[in-house]
Chain A
Amino acid sequence: MKKLFSKVALSVAVVAMTSGMAAAAAKGISDDVVKIGVLTDMSGVYSTLGGKGTQVGVEMAVKDFGGKVLGKPIKVIGADHQNKADIASAKAREWLDNEQVDMITGLLNSGCALAVQKLAGEKKRITMNTGAASTELTNKACTPYSIHYVYDTYALGKVTGQAVVQNGGKSWYFITADYAFGHSLEENTTKFVKALGGKVLGSVRHPLSTADFSSYLLQAQSSGAQIIGLANAGGDTTNAIKQAREFGIDKKGQTLVGLLIFDTDIKSLGLNVAQGMQFTSGFYWDRDKDTRAFAKRYYAIHKAMPTMDQAGAYSATMNYLKAIKAAGTDDSDAVMAKLKSMDIKDFFAVNGKIRADGRMVHDMYLMEVKKPAESKGEWDLLKIVKTVPAADAFMPLSESACPLVTK
């Protein structure tokens, strides 16, 4: 009897040991593949600044990494969320539940981003947001698995808002995209304008993807404000700027300020229309040797220079894969721990660091659109007026409302 007992005990121990080993082995790559999903606006107002170009960035990073991590293949899939939060959630749910997607990136449009980030957080899967702007993503809505990589409305509002007010633009009127992003951008910019003694005379809200801005522009014009702040993005911003010219608003002493502008917007406006405009960006392809080298390779594939979203998607993917390699697993908790402890240092982010609230802080740039005479090529559009150090550009961690931040 005693013998039998010890035999049972021994076999239990053996089973326990082997299963323990099996568990350790499973720590490697789940489902034998690392899947990265690019979920973004592939066809709408934001598709030029993100869209397929974001997927190109991700695919380049995977290729540069060698196509494999810890001996297992890396797969990239993409989908169009059409700027609709319900479509974005449904697609993300399908990816997370049935397609074993490990990380979702892109996520332009704050409305879509907030929905997907929440869902992924519940399922302990990582989101690395390169497209959306709302500071909400790293405040109340933050999760242990969410990273906000490129820029946000705080940095945009602060850098551009302060620059404009310091140049004498004291009275503002906002034309704002009527959803999470626009509201957040208007709110953040207002804060910095007022802090420097500027005034906000009013604002008008327009639905996402508006074709006709004429009536909003006329309201802004009759407000008499010196500065018409455009708290929108992509096609909405370029439409508003073009129509402001049609109605001769810029000739009457009022200045339009785009609070979120991408290289592709300037390209579509043309230097003649856009010259002299100042705005904030997280990246410019022509900044230094490394950015130019990347941009050249990117251009060869996508036939356009990378925007900050598209270059950011490359950098986010590359660092995600590095973190998997360093952690020895694609387990979300282990990868997040690595991402938050390592330095983000590449052509995209010079002094990058991912904070507890998921905010990747790095240097931001105040840009100015070149005059047509200064431009030496099709994509020679901007110059960097000022580099704003990471610590000055982003919301201090002490102000973050993210519950993950220990104060």
Chain B
Amino acid sequence: MEISFQTVMSQVMLGLNNGVFYAILSLGLAVIFGLLNIVNFAHGALYMLGAYVALLGFTSIGPLLGMPDFHLNYWAALIVAPLVVGLLGILIEKTMLSRLYKFDHLYGLLLTFGLALIIQGIFTNFFNVSGDPYEAKPEILNGAVNLGFMMFPKYRLWVIVISLLVCLATWYVIERTKLGSYLRAGTENPELVKAFGVNVPLMITLTYGYGVALAAFAGVLAAPIYSVSPVMGAEMIIVVFAVVVIGGMGSIMGSIVTGLLLGMVEGFTKVVYAPASSTVIFLIMVIVLLVKPAGLFGRES
């Protein structure tokens, strides 16, 4: 097969589409790891929960409340799902995670991994493993745009744009504002920051809530493209962890850039040798770990 410019660009564009999901999920992980020192293995399950809030909001919540005509539309789901899942995250942090900060990383990892299995197990029990279609994609995002080298669906373009905006906004708040500097200082030396009258435990709780809300947001964005299934998070989370490791644990900009790049590398691999596309990220991970163990953007401590 000859490799044309058009083929490469098309696959790279699709790769970018996958890449924004990697970016937004690994960003959440990086924020949580950076400020809480927790490796949040429940991230995939919460991403899946976000998609289910959108799906059930559209199909089931109306009849459940006795209003059969009520459907939570896509735009509302983009707000509601992160809120619901964010609150759940806050509950998890308050009741469980907060007890583990004084122990090794490993305990937080085990707890969140257990939570992920429980959430996924419950959903597998009640929902179709092979996925349900989410059919509330707004009319305005139907159809495709001609990019010259390919027809690209409007919805996917929207996902790329909005995800990038959310990622950059998060980066800006943490790295460039006063609130962000409190957050960063709180992780360096919580006692000192407390002495300045900042409520550090509350800040940490809200950070975790925000991190998982990002996952839920990505879940809603993903719902119309991929179908909504209980295992959608589990499939995603492994790759996303590889992205975080490659980018460097805890580096905000690193996780965004790495996510996008790896999505495109994956897309490009599909042109050259498709079967390798599912492993190429792990290959890169191995190489990066050998050459630069702290990750591409990580600081050696």
Q: Does B122 contact A (CB under 8 A)?
A: no
Bin the interface of chain A by size.
Answer: 20 to 34
Q: A212-B225, A247-B144 are in contact. Are A222 and B4 (CB under 8 A)?
A: yes
A219 touches B128 (CB 8 A): no
In the complex the two chains form, is A44's CB within 8 Å of B153's CB?
no
Q: Which of B17, B130, B274 lies in contact with A204, CB distance below 8 A?
A: B274
Chain A residue nearest in CB terms to B232: A211
State in angstroms the CA–CA spacing of A266 and B144 once bound together: 22
- Interface pair A223/B1, CB less than 8 Å apart: yes
**B59 close to chain A: CB less than 8 A:** no
**CB-based contact B144/A248 at 8 Å:** yes
Q: How far is the CB of B265 from chain A (nearest CB, A)?
A: 14
Contact with A along B122-156 (1 / 0, CB 8 A): 00000011110100000000011010001111000
> In the bound complex, do residue A211 and residue B129 qualify as a contact, i.e. CB atoms below 8 Å apart?
no
B130, A45: Cβ atoms closer than 8 Å = yes
Given A211-B226, A215-B11, A218-B14, A247 and B150 touching (CB < 8 A)? yes
Asked, given contacts A223-B1, A247-B151, whether A43 binds B7 with beta carbons under 8 Å apart, the answer is no
- Which chain B residues in 3-43 approach chain A with CB under 8 Å? 4, 6-7, 10-11, 14, 17
A-B contact count (CB 8 A): 63
Provide the bound-state CA to CA distance between A214 and B277, in Å.
14
User: CA of A307 to CA of B150 in the docked complex: distance in angstroms?
Assistant: 37
Residue among A215, A223, A235 making CB contact with B14, cutoff 8 Å: A215
Residues of B within 8 A of A211 (CB): 131, 225-227, 229
- Are the C-beta atoms of B270 and A219 separated by less than 8 Å? yes
Size band of the interface chain B makes with A: 20 to 34
CB distance from B70 to the nearest CB of A (A): 23
| Contact of B186 with A by CB under 8 A | no
CA distance A204 to B277 in the complex (A): 13
**B274 and A219 contacting across the interface, CB-CB below 8 Å:** yes
* Cross-chain contact A209 with B150 (CB below 8 angstroms): no
Query: What residues on A are CB-neighbors of B144 within 8 Å?
Result: 246-248
Nearest Cβ distance between residue A345 and chain B, in whole angstroms? 37
The closest CB in chain B to the CB of A43 belongs to B128
Give the CA-CA distance A235 to B130 in the complex, in Å.
10
Q: Is B233's CB within 8 Å of the partner chain A?
A: no
The reply to whether B130 and A247 form a contact with Cβ atoms under 8 Å apart is: no
A47 to B133, CA, bound (A): 13
Question: Which chain A positions have C-beta within 8 A of B151?
Answer: 246-249, 251
Assuming A223-B1, A247-B151, is B14 touching A214 (CB within 8 A)? yes
| Interface of chain A residues 141 through 168 with chain B (CB within 8 A) | none
* Residue B267 lies at the interface, judged by CB distance under 8 Å to chain A: yes
Chain B residue numbers with a CB within 8 Å of A247 are 144, 150-153
Query: Which residues in A have their C-beta under 8 angstroms from that of B227?
Result: 211, 235, 239
A82 within 8 A of B: yes
A202 within 8 A of B: yes
Nearest A residue (CB) for B2: A222
A218 and B10 contact, Cβ closer than 8 Å, known pairs A45-B130, A211-B225, A212-B226: yes
Tell me the bound Cα distance from A83 to B131 in angstroms. Answer: 12
Asked whether, in the complex, the Cβ of A209 is within 8 Å of the Cβ of B131, the reply is yes
> How distant is the Cα of A167 from the Cα of B280 in the complex, in angstroms?
42
Evaluate whether A222 and B7 lie within 8 angstroms (CB atoms) in the complex, with A209-B131, A247-B153 already known: yes
User: A103 CA to B14 CA in the complex, in Å?
Assistant: 47
- Provide the residues of chain B in CB contact with A221, threshold 8 Å: 10
| A82 close to B131 (CB less than 8 A) | no
| A residues less than 8 Å from B4 (CB atoms) | 222
A209 adjacent to B130 (CB under 8 Å): yes
Q: Give chain A interface residues in 201-245, CB to chain B under 8 Å.
A: 202, 204, 208-209, 211-212, 214-215, 218-219, 221-223, 235, 239
Instruction: Give A67 Cβ to nearest chain B Cβ, in Å.
Output: 32
A215/B267 contact (C-beta < 8 A), A44-B128, A247-B144, A247-B151 known: yes
Rounded to whole angstroms, the CA-CA distance of A209 and B1 in the bound complex is 27
B129 partner residues in chain A, CB cutoff 8 A: 43-44, 82
A235 partner residues in chain B, CB cutoff 8 A: 130, 133, 227
Residues of B within 8 A of A223 (CB): 1
- Residues of B within 8 Å of A251, CB to CB, are 151
Contacting residues of chain A (246-292) with chain B, CB-CB under 8 angstroms: 246-249, 251
A249 to B227, CA, bound (A): 21
Most buried by A among B6, B17, B226, B227: B227
Q: Complex Cα distance A208/B128, Å?
A: 14
> What's the least CB distance linking A20 to chain B, in Å?
53
B130 touches A222 (CB 8 A): no
B162 to chain A, nearest CB (A): 18
Report B221 CB to chain A, min CB distance, Å. 13
B271 to A: closest C-beta gap in Å: 8
CA distance A44 to B131 in the complex (A): 7
Residues in chain B near residue A219, CB distance under 8 A: 270, 274
CA distance A249 to B144 in the complex (A): 11
Among B102-138, those with CB < 8 Å from A are 128-131, 133
Note all chain A residues with C-beta closer than 8 A to B229: 211
Interface of chain B residues 239 through 287 with chain A (CB within 8 A): 267, 270, 274, 277
22 contacts between A and B (CB under 8 A): A45-B130, A47-B128, A83-B130, A209-B130, A211-B225, A211-B226, A212-B225, A215-B270, A215-B274, A218-B7, A218-B11, A218-B150, A222-B1, A222-B7, A222-B10, A235-B133, A246-B151, A247-B144, A247-B150, A247-B153, A248-B146, A249-B151
Other A-B pairs, 14, CB within 8 Å; known A43-B128, A45-B130, A222-B4? A44-B129, A44-B130, A82-B130, A202-B1, A209-B130, A209-B131, A211-B226, A211-B227, A214-B14, A215-B274, A215-B277, A221-B10, A247-B144, A247-B153
